[in-house]
Chains A and B, each alone.
Chain A
Amino acid sequence: MKMNGCQRVSAETTGCGDCEPGLNARVPVMLAAVLAVAACGSGSDAPQSITTVSWGGSYGRAVNEGANIPFTEETGIRIEVEDYNGGLAQIRAQVDIGEIHWDVVDLEIADAVRGCDEGLLEPIDLASLPPGADGTPAEEDFVDDGRTECGVGNLYWSTVYAYNADNIPGEKPATMADFFDLEKFPGRRGMRRVPKVNLEFALIADGVPLDQVYATMDTPAGLDRAFAKLETIKDEVIWWEAGAQPPQMLADGEVTMTTAYNGRIFNAQVLEDQPFVIVWDGQLLDVGQVGIVAGTPRLEAALQYLAFATSAESMVRIARRISYSPMRKSGMGLVTTHVVAGVEMEPHMPASPANAANALRYDWAWWVDHADELNERFSAWLAR
Chain B
Amino acid sequence: MGGGPGRRGRLRGAMRVPREQLRALGLVAPLLIFIGVTFIAALATMLMRSVHDPVVADALPETVALLRGWDGERLPAEAVYETAARELSRAGEERTIGQVAGRVNRVQGGLRSVFTRTARDLEDEAPDPAAATGTPWRDALIALDTAWADPATWHAIRTTGERFTSRNYLNAVDMDRLPDGTIARQPEERRIYLRLFWRTLLVSGAITILCLLLGYPIAHLIARAPPRRAALLLVLVLVPFWTSLLVRTTSWIVLLQTQGVINDILVAIGLVSDDGRLAMIYSMTGTLIAMTHVLLPFMVLPLYSVMRGIPPQHMSAAASLGATPLQAFLRVYWPQSLPGVGAGALLVFILSIGFYITPALVGGSDGQLISNMIAYHMQTSLNWGLAGALGGILLVGVLALYMVYDRLVGVERMGLH
Interface residues of A, Cβ cutoff 8 Å to B = 21, 86-89, 92, 114, 116-119, 188, 193, 234, 237-239, 241, 252-254, 365, 368-377, 379-383
27 sampled A-B residue pairs with Cβ under 8 A: A21-B96, A87-B380, A87-B382, A89-B378, A89-B382, A114-B98, A117-B95, A118-B95, A118-B98, A119-B99, A239-B282, A239-B364, A252-B257, A252-B259, A252-B260, A368-B113, A369-B105, A369-B109, A369-B113, A371-B381, A372-B105, A373-B109, A376-B190, A379-B192, A380-B190, A382-B368, A383-B365
CA–CA, A368 and B368, complex, Å: 25
Task: Decide: B379 and A365 in contact? CB cutoff 8 A.
Answer: no
Task: Decide: A382 and B257 in contact? CB cutoff 8 A.
Answer: no
Interface residues of B, Cβ cutoff 8 Å to A = 94-99, 101-102, 105-106, 109-113, 116, 189-192, 195-196, 199, 257-260, 282, 360-361, 364-366, 368, 373, 376, 378-383
A188 contacts across to B, CB distance below 8 A = 258
Task: Decide: B190 and A375 in contact? CB cutoff 8 A.
Answer: no
Name which residue of chain B comes closest to A374, CB basis: B109
CA–CA, A381 and B383, complex, Å: 20
CA–CA, A369 and B97, complex, Å: 14
How many Å from the CB of B52 to the closest CB on chain A? 12
A-B contact count (CB 8 A): 96
B97 contacts across to A, CB distance below 8 A = 117
CA–CA, A238 and B382, complex, Å: 26
Task: Decide: A380 and B381 in contact? CB cutoff 8 A.
Answer: no
Task: Decide: A383 and B380 in contact? CB cutoff 8 A.
Answer: no
Task: Decide: A117 and B116 in contact? CB cutoff 8 A.
Answer: yes
CA–CA, A136 and B215, complex, Å: 70
CA–CA, A376 and B380, complex, Å: 12
Known: A89-B378, A237-B365, A377-B190. 16 other contacts (CB 8 A): A87-B380, A89-B379, A117-B98, A119-B99, A234-B365, A238-B282, A239-B364, A252-B257, A252-B259, A368-B112, A368-B113, A369-B113, A380-B191, A382-B365, A383-B196, A383-B365
Task: Decide: A119 and B98 in contact? CB cutoff 8 A.
Answer: yes
CA–CA, A383 and B342, complex, Å: 31
Task: Decide: A375 and B259 in contact? CB cutoff 8 A.
Answer: no
Task: Decide: B380 and A369 in contact? CB cutoff 8 A.
Answer: no
User: Taking chain A's interface residues, is the majority helix, strand, or loop, or is none over half, making it mixed?
Assistant: helix
Other-chain residue from A117, A254, A375 in contact with B380 (beta carbon distance below 8 A): A375
Task: Decide: B259 and A369 in contact? CB cutoff 8 A.
Answer: no
Counting from the closest, the 10 A-B pairs by CB-CB distance are A117-B98, A118-B98, A119-B95, A373-B109, A380-B192, A89-B379, A253-B259, A382-B365, A369-B110, A238-B282
Name which residue of chain A comes closest to B101, CB basis: A117
Task: Decide: A88 and B382 in contact? CB cutoff 8 A.
Answer: yes
Other-chain residue from B94, B199, B258, B259 in contact with A383 (beta carbon distance below 8 A): B199
CA–CA, A226 and B94, complex, Å: 39
CA–CA, A224 and B276, complex, Å: 34
Name which residue of chain B comes closest to A245, CB basis: B361
Task: Decide: A370 and B110 in contact? CB cutoff 8 A.
Answer: yes
Most buried by B among A252, A253, A373, A376: A376
Name which residue of chain B comes closest to A249, CB basis: B257
Task: Decide: B368 and A372 in contact? CB cutoff 8 A.
Answer: no
CA–CA, A376 and B259, complex, Å: 33
Most buried by B among A119, A253, A374, A379: A379
A253 contacts across to B, CB distance below 8 A = 258-259
CA–CA, A377 and B192, complex, Å: 8
Name which residue of chain B comes closest to A92, CB basis: B382
CA–CA, A87 and B260, complex, Å: 33
A370 contacts across to B, CB distance below 8 A = 109-110
